[in-house]
């Protein structure tokens, strides 16, 4: 806990100026710690949170007093109800070690809209255990802009990710079992593309060998992280149980000896996989520290998947609230692009406004300042780093949706640095709002909420995707690279080009593309920060996610199974003498 406070002070969100010199570095009172703030906040019973959005207690399956699943019968009972809510997307600049606070801003904005008298629902992704125990830590916001119970949400929550992992690995087991018992389908073991998964960063499992000891056909296999599984993508894009089972059945697991595709339904796996996912498919209801109802459901990564919460949660929220605030993972070049080109395309969603989040500290890093120098005023570095933010704003505007900028404030921000941001935003015709929701909750984001509500009500949004369905797959990849990454072109590996031709021949040419790329740069090189252009985007491989309904383009050295860092967050996580979890942040 003390380390977390020290980190907050170092990042500038806890002031140390009032301490005498001999106390600088000594932890300030515990209430400023994220976990303590959450535990000192009295939560509302989940049944009362449900009544705020018209849910009766009988429609909720409680997982303790403060979290619940919404009965699927209730969800399906609203099938014919119109989606009258305004959808607000929160995205960000390219992430840096300084942090941007996208989830915190999403929560703060939702709380601010609620304070302003708007019936509001927040829709977030579920945290993955891999990042929680890796570099990132928890993903439930921070300070007074959190969803709760934060420790339960960050760990096992309601078991959704375990169900997704089990469904994925059931399919793997059924594939190998089919081959073991005679291989009636003629599956070529060397052409099996379906991989096992687990919800943890474990680089040692990237490549494995299965079938040893006379336990089947010996072949190379490997693990991805669960959030990269196509089952996760399907889970988040399916509309109902029937759609879920159909999509699962359409998963391509490999090829036969005659080169034809084999699907999950061919090994009779889809119905059992659906059974494993039945309860998980029901959206989860929790609350912010200020009592704003929040759906947290599904959690694909945005650098290797499509980075959005479930369609069923978002669509349901739009039927229950006037404003629905959601987020897309990492920077707008990844999460927002996929939210708009994949999720909105498939679900028919039309966002009314997009908020791009940044911090002065992160802009300085994009301007070339080292992390240990971020507390010093540097107007020129902010000005240089603004190129990254401006590009993200310009990119989301290409989708026909009005954009706003939210600056997640730190105590080290100076007026001169803020003036530069105001000037840059004014020059491109967008408003910049300096928000203090971490320290003040919804009260710290009221001007942002007022502007968002006004923009959403203006009717100026005319949403459009960045490319049409009928465009060739290679050209869709090229369009994203040129329009969003500002690349000169793509370098499509010959083997990847042949796969794209095969996908089109098999009838999948109409699908959107899901770019798997580093989150840290517009390029495939994570060290190239700022706003580089004229580069070449390398596409080393492509994968067909026929069930999810998109084609994945693997750009550069992106990994679908991350590893833990030299000093993972797991070193600091534990249970104290009172049985409470500590170290999540």
Rounded distance between C-alpha atoms, residue 39 and residue 37, angstroms: 6
Q: Is residue 467 part of a domain?
A: no
Active site residue 125: yes
If asked whether residues 226 and 83 sit together in one domain, one would say no
Per annotation, catalytic residue among 161, 235, 399, 438: 438
Active site residue 572: no
Strand ranges for 410-549 from DSSP E? 432-435, 489-492, 513-516, 536-545
Q: Indicate the pLDDT class of residue 21, thresholds 50, 70 and 90.
A: very low
If asked whether residues 231 and 145 sit together in one domain, one would say no
Q: Which of 277, 293, 308 is the last residue of a domain?
A: 277
If asked whether residues 394 and 426 sit together in one domain, one would say yes
Per annotation, catalytic residue among 91, 96, 103, 104: 104
If asked whether residues 321 and 175 sit together in one domain, one would say no
If asked whether residues 148 and 98 sit together in one domain, one would say yes
Enter the pTM of the model: 0.92
Number of compact structural domains in the chain: 3
Rounded distance between C-alpha atoms, residue 168 and residue 280, angstroms: 14
Q: Which of 277, 296, 319 is the last residue of a domain?
A: 277
If asked whether residues 300 and 420 sit together in one domain, one would say yes
Q: What is the arithmetic mean of pLDDT over 415-420?
A: 96
What's the confidence (pLDDT) of residue 13? 47
Min mean pLDDT across 118-132, 261-275, 379-393 is at 118-132
Q: Indicate the pLDDT class of residue 132, thresholds 50, 70 and 90.
A: confident
If asked whether residues 152 and 183 sit together in one domain, one would say no
pLDDT at 546 over 70: yes
Q: Indicate the pLDDT class of residue 386, thresholds 50, 70 and 90.
A: very high
The domain spanning residue 437 has which CATH number? 3.40.50.300
Per annotation, catalytic residue among 323, 330, 339, 585: 330
Per annotation, catalytic residue among 112, 163, 238, 302: 302
The domain spanning residue 171 has which CATH number? 3.30.1510.10
Q: What is the arithmetic mean of pLDDT over 402-409?
A: 97
Q: Which of 277, 308, 332 is the last residue of a domain?
A: 277
Q: Is residue 18 part of a domain?
A: no
Active site residue 364: no
Q: Indicate the pLDDT class of residue 15, thresholds 50, 70 and 90.
A: very low
What count of residues does the chain have?
Answer: 585
**pLDDT tens, position by position, 496-520:** 999 999 999 999 999 999 999 999 9
Q: What is the arithmetic mean of pLDDT over 36-62?
A: 93
The better pLDDT of the pair 301, 292 is held by: 292
Per annotation, catalytic residue among 67, 118, 125, 196: 125
Burial of 468 (0-12, 13-18, 19+ CB in 10 A): exposed
If asked whether residues 254 and 363 sit together in one domain, one would say no
Per annotation, catalytic residue among 7, 115, 136, 528: 136
What's the confidence (pLDDT) of residue 98? 87
Residue 23 CB partners (closer than 8 Å, separation 6+)? none
If asked whether residues 143 and 166 sit together in one domain, one would say no
If asked whether residues 294 and 197 sit together in one domain, one would say no
pLDDT at 33 over 70: no
Strand partners, 214: none
The domain spanning residue 477 has which CATH number? 3.10.410.10
What's the confidence (pLDDT) of residue 121? 98
**Closest by CA position to 166, among listed 123, 226, 224:** 226
Active site residue 460: no
Q: Is residue 564 part of a domain?
A: no
Q: Indicate the pLDDT class of residue 1, thresholds 50, 70 and 90.
A: very low
Percent of the chain scored above 70 by pLDDT? 94
Active site residue 330: yes
If asked whether residues 333 and 231 sit together in one domain, one would say no
Q: Is residue 302 part of a domain?
A: yes
Asked whether the beta carbons of 93 and 388 are under 8 A apart, the reply is yes
Using alpha carbons, list the distances in angstroms from residue 305 to 194, 513, 554, 583.
15, 10, 10, 28
Per annotation, catalytic residue among 323, 410, 434, 550: 410
Active site residue 235: no
Domain hosting 245: range is: 160-277
If asked whether residues 186 and 254 sit together in one domain, one would say yes
């Amino acid at each position: 806990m003390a380390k977390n406070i020290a980190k907050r002070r170092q990042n500038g969100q806890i002031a140390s100026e009032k301490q005498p010199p001999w106390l600088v570095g000594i932890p300030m009172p515990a209430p400023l710690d994220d976990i303590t703030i959450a535990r000192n906040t009295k939560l509302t019973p989940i049944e009362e949170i449900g009544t705020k959005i018209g849910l009766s207690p009988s429609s909720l399956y409680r997982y303790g007093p403060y979290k619940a699943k919404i009965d699927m019968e209730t969800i399906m009972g609203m099938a014919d109800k119109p989606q009258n809510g305004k959808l607000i997307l929160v995205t960000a600049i390219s992430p840096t070690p300084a942090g941007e606070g996208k989830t915190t801003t999403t929560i703060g904005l939702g709380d601010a809209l609620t304070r302003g008298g708007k019936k509001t629902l927040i829709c977030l992704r579920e945290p993955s255990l891999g990042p929680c125990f890796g570099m990132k830590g928890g993903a439930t916001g921070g300070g007074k802009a959190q969803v709760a119970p934060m420790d339960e949400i960050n760990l096992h929550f309601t078991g959704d990710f375990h169900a997704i992992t089990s469904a994925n690995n059931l399919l793997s087991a059924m594939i190998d079992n089919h081959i073991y018992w005679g291989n009636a389908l003629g599956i070529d073991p060397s052409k099996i593309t379906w991989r096992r998964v687990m919800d943890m960063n474990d680089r040692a499992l990237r490549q494995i060998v299965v079938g040893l000891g006379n336990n089947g056909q010996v072949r190379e296999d490997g693990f991805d992280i669960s959030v990269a599984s196509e089952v996760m993508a399907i889970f988040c894009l399916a509309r109902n149980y029937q759609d879920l089972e159909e999509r699962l059945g359409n998963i391509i697991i490999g090829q036969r000896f005659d080169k034809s595709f084999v699907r999950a339904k061919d090994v009779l796996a889809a119905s059992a996989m659906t059974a494993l996912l039945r309860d998980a498919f029901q959206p989860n209801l929790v609350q912010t520290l200020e009592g704003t109802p929040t759906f947290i459901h599904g959690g694909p990564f945005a650098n290797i998947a499509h980075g959005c919460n479930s369609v069923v949660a978002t669509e349901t929220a739009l039927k229950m609230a006037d404003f629905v605030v959601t987020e897309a993972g990492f920077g707008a070049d990844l999460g927002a692009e996929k939210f708009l080109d994949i999720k909105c395309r498939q679900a028919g969603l039309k966002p009314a406004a997009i908020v791009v989040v940044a911090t002065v500290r992160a802009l300085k890093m994009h301007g070339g300042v080292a992390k240990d120098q971020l507390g010093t005023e540097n107007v020129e570095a902010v000005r240089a780093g603004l190129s990254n933010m401006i590009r993200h704003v310009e990119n989301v505007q290409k989708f026909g949706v009005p954009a706003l900028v939210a600056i997640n404030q730190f105590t080290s921000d100076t007026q001169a640095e803020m003036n530069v941001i105001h000037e840059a935003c004014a020059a491109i015709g967008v408003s910049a709002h300096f928000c203090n929701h971490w320290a003040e909750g919804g009260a710290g984001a009221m001007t942002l909420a007022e502007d968002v509500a006004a923009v959403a009500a203006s009717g100026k949004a005319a949403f459009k995707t960045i490319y049409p369905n009928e465009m060739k797959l290679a050209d869709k990849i090229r369009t994203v690279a040129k329009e969003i990454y500002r690349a000169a072109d793509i370098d499509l590996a010959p083997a990847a080009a042949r796969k794209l031709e095969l996908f089109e021949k098999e009838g999948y040419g109409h699908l959107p593309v899901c770019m798997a790329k580093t989150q840290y740069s517009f390029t495939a090189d994570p060290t190239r920060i700022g706003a580089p252009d004229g580069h070449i985007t390398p596409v080393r491989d492509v994968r067909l996610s026929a069930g999810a309904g998109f084609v994945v383009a693997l750009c550069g050295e992106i990994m679908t199974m991350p590893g833990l860092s030299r000093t993972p967050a797991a070193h600091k996580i534990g249970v104290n003498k009172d049985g409470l979890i500590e170290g999540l942040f």
